Structure 1
């Protein structure tokens, strides 16, 4: 009974995948690969070309996955034996690798296999494999876009720091106030020192001037007649005065 169901399934697959069955998988263009390939009566390969939406950042050709199917005698009551391989000579895709993603993709078929035991399931497995592989690439596209967006946002944040001051907190205010008060005190001390220096300088200059008494005692000023202008007499004596320091 298992063998009869296997033959029927292959006939259905031939109608779904109408490409000519051939053993040639050497084409470098995945679009020219046959959809299914017979190896023997119970084993064949299905070429699964992924269908991806256009993306400005990802201009690579969509990858192709080769699904190897081998029927055990009791299939479909027993799960088929599956394997995956890349299309021969196909260009590598930056977001997908059959070698690296095979375990993930095969494990993603386990639930489908269990749900369809007792029924022909290869077409469902092909559909599930295709959807899972496409979603894997789309998720990586989205992650790459988020990473790129984060880089742009980080650069923008760094640029915006130039236009924003340090946020004011209680700690930063106290620190600023202490610095400001110290600066004001230093300025007050400086100004006081300058004022004292000016006073000292003026006092020295004042000491260098001789008083009228000193001028009289040193005989530098003559007697002033009552009729004479005291201010004039004093001025005449002062005119001839030379003070040396």
Structure 2
């Protein structure tokens, strides 16, 4: 608590002392430079998700019979779109608690509001990611269908062959004779006798001729 003197009623003093004991460094009692009233600053920090803000409550002399003035100072990672609805929510809560000390209750309800809306924000992010995931799945399925169609076309072409036309037949005919001629040359080359075969054939011929000569002499 600040050391400078702030005009407080007994009820206000008791409440601020209790707040100091409970909140520690998250509580600060100041003097409103504009109105001279006691100004309470409450620092809110949520770790998951990490959101920071400060609540400023200016206490009128008749507080708690009269609602304090409240302002919100956004801190780190506090969505700008939350400021107006949170402020309206806290003002409605104050109106329902007139006549009783309400600062700590406003602090806890503000934290609850942040947690609730953080959960909604996370849920929206998850829905968005899931929606993108389904879109990606659709793309994958489409790709699979296109691939399946291409494979089916190849299988069908393999099963039923290429349609015969005048042009395809002429191309086949040219390829056939070209391959046939090459194979004939290869066949002729493979049938050409080797040197050993020629030598053995010559020996057979000479032996045969010699046999014929001996046969003729015997007959004489």
SS of the residue corresponding to residue 156 of structure 1 reads helix
SS of the residue corresponding to residue 64 of structure 2 reads coil
Distance (Å, rounded) in 2 between the aligned partners of 1:14 and 1:115: 24
Matches within 5 A, 1:89-100: 92-93=76-77, 96-97=78-79, 99-100=80-81
Larger relative contact order, structure 1 or 2 (CA cutoff 8 Å, min sep 6): 1
Distance (Å, rounded) in 2 between the aligned partners of 1:106 and 1:52: 21
State which drifts further: 34-43 or 123-132.
Answer: 34-43
What's the TM-score once normalised by structure 2's chain length?
0.55
Distance (Å, rounded) in 1 between the aligned partners of 2:129 and 2:65: 48
Correspondence 1:37 to 2:23: no
Runs of 4+ in 1 over 2 A off after TM superposition: 157-165
Aligned residue number for residue 14 of structure 2:
8
Deviations 1:118-147 (A, max 9, x none): 000000000011111122222111101110
Unaligned runs of at least 5 residues, structure 1:
20-33, 54-61, 166-245
Aligned residue number for residue 160 of structure 2:
none
Candidates 36, 43, 47, aligned match of 2:43: 47
Deviations 1:153-179 (A, max 9, x none): 1221232245569xxxxxxxxxxxxxx
Whether the 8 Å contact between 2:74 and 2:83 is mirrored in structure 1 is no
What's the TM-score once normalised by structure 1's chain length?
0.50
Unaligned runs of at least 5 residues, structure 2:
1-7, 32-36, 147-220
Correspondence 1:159 to 2:136: no
Aligned residue number for residue 180 of structure 1:
none
Counting helix residues as a fraction of each chain, which structure ranks higher? Answer: 2
Matches within 5 A, 1:166-185: none
Aligned residue number for residue 80 of structure 1:
68
Aligned residue number for residue 223 of structure 1:
none
Whether the 8 Å contact between 1:77 and 1:117 is mirrored in structure 2 is yes
Correspondence 1:136 to 2:117: yes
Deviations 1:176-217 (A, max 9, x none): xxxxxxxxxxxxxxxxxxxxxxxxxxxxxxxxxxxxxxxxxx
Distance (Å, rounded) in 2 between the aligned partners of 1:69 and 1:51: 23
Whether the 8 Å contact between 2:66 and 2:98 is mirrored in structure 1 is yes
SS of the residue corresponding to residue 43 of structure 1 reads strand
CA RMSD of aligned residues (A): 2.2
Distance (Å, rounded) in 2 between the aligned partners of 1:15 and 1:37: 11
Distance (Å, rounded) in 2 between the aligned partners of 1:38 and 1:110: 21
